[in-house]
Structure 1
Amino acid sequence: MATPGDFTSLPVIDISPLFGADTAAKRRVVEALGETARTIGFLYVTGHGMAPGLFDDLLAAAKEFFARPVDEKMQVYIGKSSNHRGYVPVGEEVIYGGVPDQKEAFDLSQDLPADDVDYLAGNPMLGPNQWPSLPGFKERVGAYYDGVMQVGRTLLRAFAEALGQDQSLFDSYVTKPPSQLRLVHYPFSPNAPGNAFGISPHTDMECFTLLRVTAPGLEVMNGKGDWIDVPPLENAFVVNIGDMLEVWTNGQFVATSHRVRKVKEERYSFPLFFNVDYDTVVAPLPCFTGEEPSKYRPVKAGEHLFAVTAQGFVYLQKRVAAGEIALPEGASGTHEFGQHARHADQARA
């Protein structure tokens, strides 16, 4: 197994034993997941049990939507929502103050009813989705969302076991999570600025991400600060640890920084950001501190998600500037986690 400084490729872990009765095989998978989460923070997952047709239907729905005229897609513009759902045009997203990302997207999450109590109370990340008026779009995308969330719940329990805890450790925090699914389209853009990324370097704000893509472009930062290519693998998820598991484990698990380089071909990407409930206060758990002090301040999962989101989308930046919304107290939005934070700390030392 690679160390944090020297990995040049990602391991492939078959998680099918997690769904079976062979305890020894399950233990081997759990141990492999834990080792990878500690040393790399990125891996390929196979044997996840999702029917291939779910991804095929999702891809077909995405291609149909993104092929529509811009004015039609803007009918469900994300800026028309109060809970960050809908179409994200090219240039809308600017992570960490960089060059606008060269992509368009459609963002959704758990499709709650319009009378949901948190939505009515003004929660900025919960509530109903905006759906385009394309026949079958909602059904195909919704079926994929439900399927990948089930894989995520299985992985969350395996990660708990990999930490030496009961598999139910995190279950109570996942009742109505703002776990976002993004349908992302990277059009080939030869005239994009030379310093433009498909998506800028970042870590993910949630617990972990399950990603399916159609073409190369994803790169991961290793412990040396080098960018490592992550090509797609047939019927496999790319899984990466996010900020919340880094905090909960007091840095045992690594939220590894990643980016999408300026793409050389049209590319579709479908990350599911598996999160915990909005009001979950995440801080290093006592079982991961012991005599070692906590390395992280407590953070409310939903507020962390909203703070970074609000600082990365143009429509939300405008709302903040106009005083229509306010960032949570103590909001960061900088490279606070992952390899970027480690290298920034080393540079300041």
Structure 2
Amino acid sequence: MISAKVSGSAIASVDLTSEDAVAEIGAACRRDGFFFVLNHGVPTGLVSPAFEETLRFYARPAHEKKNLAADVRSQFLGYRSVGQERSTSHAGGEACEQYRIGRTTGALASGRPADFYHEPFRRCAELFERMVVLGDSLLSACVADLALNGGFFDSCMKSPMHRLGLNYYKVGYGAEIANTVDYAMSPHVDHALFTVLAQDEPGLEVRGADGGWIPVPVIPDAFFVFLGDYLQRWTNGTYRAALHRVGPVPVDRVSIQYKHRPSYSTVVAPLEPFISETDPPRYEPFDTGSQYASLLESLLEGR
């Protein structure tokens, strides 16, 4: 296992071509809930064009971006303006512009096809499809580490709701929306199995096991993987979800986040292999369909 030295701490880096990859992923999921992944199989030539395409979109006039606005009718595909998403930890909003592409449950209530929202991001859509393959490989490694049947999660992944997020953090956005905190994205845990992230500038911070915030560096040709709520909930805490945030933004920054998610309306609750009389369920069931949609709607409502 390789380690990236960061502020006196170490973030594990796993080479997916290594024969020890499964064990190393399992160890990182239990201990930290995050790790870098190397030799991941995603062509490096897809990443730079995705960043360039994202910057071109955010340079568009405001009215063009708002024509692609995300809401419940678009199944939250599309654009969220700076501060539109309400913070869960302070009185303001998230100090970034956001965009989502990815899978849907079918026809959108907006009357537009999903492809309407994907149109500005053709190169990002290519990257998304390769991220799906990587996500499947990472989930298979987790299943093997947990000594589960190889098809254990198949019934939950028949029509997965994977998404790709494209966030733009511009210097001064926090002041523009009158935030009273210096961080740009509030501390939170993702509603996903895990997130695979690329960033063009540092900014992401993860909460370590000791409670301190660890800055995540930019490592060429590597992705940063951090666990979300669903794997923590399914494994009854055997795997650790990663609390994370984006700190102060000294330079303009783009992050691309691929979220690996189950089928719509999958109910995520501690699974039988991880509960017992001495270790009862620690988490309530969570509906990844209507319950998650209601949560998103509440964060975007009226902003």
Taking structure 1 as the reference length, the TM-score comes to 0.77
CA-CA distance at 1:64 after TM superposition? 1.0
* Cα deviations by residue, 1:82-134 (Å, 9 ceiling, x for unpaired): 3111111111012315221111011111267xxx3xx46x6x9xx7254376x
Aligned-residue sequence identity (percent) comes to 30
What is the deviation of 1:185?
Answer: 0.6
Q: 1:214 Cα shift?
A: 0.5
Query: How far off its partner does 1:163 sit?
Result: 0.6
Q: CA RMSD in A?
A: 2.4
Q: Aligned pair 1:51/2:43, yes or no?
A: yes
After TM superposition, give the deviation of residue 42 of structure 1 in Å: 0.9
Residue of structure 2 aligned with 1:294, choices 278, 281, 284: 281
Q: Which runs of 4+ in 1 moved over 6 A?
A: none
Q: CA deviation at 1:80?
A: 8.4
With over 3 angstroms needed to count, the CA separation of the structure-2 counterparts of 1:85 and 1:216, relative to structure 1, is same
Letter in 1 for 2:99: F
What's 1:89 paired with?
81
> Which of 170, 177, 189 is 2:160 aligned to?
177
Residue in structure 2 matched with residue 207 of structure 1 by the alignment: 193
Match of 2:258 among 233, 253, 272: 272
SS at match of 1:172: helix
CA shift digits 1:153-211 (9 cap, x unpaired): 11011101111112321133112222221111111118724514221000001110000
Q: Which amino acid is 1:167 matched to?
A: G
Give the one of 219, 228, 232 matched to 2:218: 232
User: How much has 1:81 moved relative to structure 2?
Assistant: 4.0
Q: Is the 8 A contact 1:209 1:242 kept in 2?
A: yes
Shift in Å, 1:289: 1.1
Aligned length: 291
What is the CA–CA distance in structure 1 between the aligned matches of 2:226 and 2:174, rounded to whole Å?
A: 31
Q: CA contact under 8 A between 2:31 and 2:209: conserved in structure 1?
A: no
2:272 partner letter: P
- Residue 326 of structure 1 corresponds to which residue in structure 2? none
- In 1, the alpha carbon distance for the partners of 2:116 and 2:255 equals 20
Deviates more, 1:236-245 or 1:294-303: 294-303
- Partner of residue 253, structure 1: 239
Cα distance in 1, alignment partners of residues 36 and 89 from structure 2 = 30
Match of 1:307 among 287, 294, 299: 294
Moved more, 298-307 or 68-77: 298-307
What's the counterpart of residue 110 of structure 1? 103
**One-letter amino acid matched to 2:302:** K
The Cα offsets for residues 274-333 of structure 1, whole Å up to 9 and x where unpaired, read as 1001121211111111332111122222234323322322xxx239xxxxxxxxxxxxxx
Contact 1:111 1:129 in 2 (8 A): no
Q: Hey, what's the Cα distance between the residues in 2 that align with 1:100 and 1:196?
A: 12
Partner of 2:273, secondary structure, is helix
Q: Counterpart of 1:333?
A: none
> 2:25 matched to 1:38?
no
**Partner secondary structure for residue 131 of structure 1:** helix
Does structure 2 conserve the Cα–Cα contact (< 8 Å) formed by 1:203 and 1:242? Answer: yes
Letter of the 1:278 partner, please give it. Y
Q: Is the 8 A contact 1:16 1:49 kept in 2?
A: no
Residues of 2 paired with 1:66 and 1:260: CA distance?
19
Q: Name the structure 1 match of 2:11.
A: 10
Q: Do the aligned partners of residues 277 and 79 (structure 1) sit closer, same or farther apart at CA in structure 2, a change above 3 Å counting?
A: closer
Q: Name the SS for the 2:254 alignment partner.
A: strand
Superposition deviation, residue 11 in structure 1 = 0.5
**Cα drift, residue 145 of structure 1:** 0.9
CA distance in structure 1 between the aligned counterparts of 2:83 and 2:115, rounded to whole angstroms: 22
Is the 8 Å Cα contact of residues 89 and 186 (structure 2) preserved in structure 1? no
Q: Hey, what does 2:138 align to over in structure 1?
A: 155
How far apart, CA to CA, are the structure 1 residues paired with 2:75 and 2:302?
15
> CA distance change for structure 1 residues 243 and 153 in 2, over 3 Å: closer, same or farther?
same
Superposition TM-score, scaled by structure 2 size: 0.88
Query: Which structure shows the bigger proportion of residues in strand conformation?
Result: 2
Q: Which residue of 2 aligns with 1:100?
A: 93
Alignment gaps of 5+ in structure 1:
18-24, 320-349
Whichever residue aligns with residue 246 of structure 1, its letter is Q
Partner in structure 2 of residue 318 of structure 1: 302
2:79 aligned counterpart, secondary structure? strand
